[in-house]
Structures are given as structure tokens and as C-alpha cells.
Amino acid sequence: MYCDGGCFAYDKFVKKGKVPQNDEALNDSTFSKLLRDKFYVDELYEMLIVKPAYSFSTLMSTFFEEKIIHRATNGAGQLTLFLSGKIRKTQNGFISYYLFAMALGVLGLITIFILF
């Protein structure tokens, strides 16, 4: 197949010396201009898909990530530090206190199972 195409091109352009016209020399009709510019698909894709996606990603990066995600993760860390400071005081080493807390937990679970 390659040989057929190569032989055809050699016969048409080298032997006969027929060179195709330059694109600028052709009639610049509207359809030929559209064909040459690939129906402006690249420009439309850039305008309708790429630029809005880039703008949306920039907005998400500047607003959503910095204002919401960073605050949520930093808030979770601060909440952990605050709660651990409060809960640390409840660990005093007395077994009777731990048994009381366990009994409250069991009662809470029983209450949940009964209600739901």
C-alpha cells in the first residue's frame, strides 16, 4: 500500500512535474476558508471548554480550598487540641470512676437500642 501511494505521487509530481497550487492562489470562498481553519473547532473548544474550566478551577483554588478546606482542617486540629485538654482532666486513675463511666455508656447504648 505504501508503495502504491509512493508510486502514484512520484508519477504525478516528479515525472509530470505537476505541482499543486499554493493555498493563497486558490479562490478564497467561505467554505474553503472554513476548511482551512478546521471549522474553527480549536477556537470554539478554547472558548467554550478550556477558558471556563480554567476560570472555575482558579475560583475553586482561591476561594473553596483556601477559605473552606484550610479552615476546616485547621479547625479540626484546634478542636482536637481543645477536647483533649478537657478530657485529659477526667483521667484520674481511680477504677471506680472508670466503672461508673462504663456503666453510663452501657445504659446509653441500651437506651439507644430501645428507642430505635
All three cell numbers of 68, joined, read: 473552606
pLDDT in tens, 12-40: 778 877 776 776 666 667 777 777 778 88
Backbone Cα Rg of the chain: 38
Given a contact cutoff of 8 angstroms between Cβ atoms, the answer to whether 102 and 90 are in contact is: no
Residue 40 has a pLDDT of 86
Give this prediction's pTM.
0.44
* Average pLDDT of every residue of the chain: 86
Please choose, from the candidates 51, 33, 35, the residue with its C-alpha nearest in 3D space to the C-alpha of residue 43. Answer: 51
Q: Cα–Cα distance between 64 and 58 in angstroms, integer?
A: 10
